[in-house]
Amino acid sequence: MTPIVQELEALLARWETANAADVDQLIADRLQHYDRTLSPPGTDPAHPLPHVTLAAGGIVWKPHTSERRMALIHRPRYDDWCLPKGKVDPGEMLSETARREVWEETGCDVEFIRAAGILHYRVRTGPKFVFYWEMRATQVHPLPAITEVDQLQWLAPRAALHRLSYDIERQFLRRVEAHHA
C-alpha cells in the first residue's frame, strides 16, 4: 500500500466517529495537495491540473441469508464483474456517491456498516482513488434499467473472489474478509 493510500485510509477510518462532511473535506484537502505534486513545474498552484479521479462504492451484503452473500455487477461495456462504484459528482460527499452508485447499479437501498478501505490505481488520465464502505442492503429492488449494468449476482465471498475480473479488487476483498475472520 502506498503512503498516500495509508494516509487516506487513516482519514476514512474517522468516518465512523466524525462528521462525514468533515472527513470528506480532510480527504479533499489531502488529495488537492497530492494533485499539486503531480502537476508539471510552473503550474499555477491555485489551478492544478485535474489529475486525480475520485470514486466511491460499496461491498453490499444481502441480509437474511444463511450464508453471507455480496453484490457483484456485470458491466457489458467492459465485459467485467466488479464491485458497484462510480465517480463523484461535483459537490457530492464520498458517502453520498457510494450510496447513489450502489442504488444506480444494484437497485439496493443500503445502510452503512463501516468504512472498508480504498483502492488506488492509474487510469488514462492519472491516479484514481475508489473509497469503499461495507453496506447492508435494507431493500432489494429490481435492477434499474441502465446501460452500465446488465447483471447483478449475490455471491458468497469465496465465489465472488473467483468471479471478480480485476486482481486489485480480489486483493481488496481478501483484505476486507480478513477483518471478518
Confidence of residue 38 (pLDDT cuts 50, 70, 90): low
Q: What is the pLDDT of residue 66?
A: 84
Asked if pLDDT for residue 39 goes beyond 60, the answer is no
| Higher local confidence (pLDDT), 18 or 8 | 8
Q: Which residues pair with 16 in a beta bridge?
A: none
| Residue range 124-168, pLDDT digits in tens | 888 899 999 999 999 999 887 777 999 999 999 999 999 999 999
The domains found in the chain, sorted by start residue, are 50-180 (3.90.79.10)
Confidence of residue 179 (pLDDT cuts 50, 70, 90): confident
Q: How is residue 81 written as a grid cell?
A: 464483474
| Residue range 62-108, pLDDT digits in tens | 987 788 999 999 999 999 999 999 999 988 889 999 999 999 999 99
The CA–CA distances, whole Å, from 132 to 42, 94, 98, 118, 119 equal: 35, 9, 7, 6, 8
Q: Which of 13-17, 67-71, 175-179 has the lowest mean pLDDT?
A: 13-17
Asked if pLDDT for residue 49 goes beyond 50, the answer is no
What DSSP string runs through the chain? Answer: --HHHHHHHHHHHGGGTS-HHHHHHHHHHHHHHHHHHHSPTT--TTS-----EEEEEEEEEPSS-SS--EEEEEETTTTEEE--EEEPPTT--HHHHHHHHHHHHH-EEEEEEEEEEEEEEEETTEEEEEEEEEEEEEEEPPPP--SS--EEEEE-HHHHHHH-S-HHHHHHHHHHHHHH-
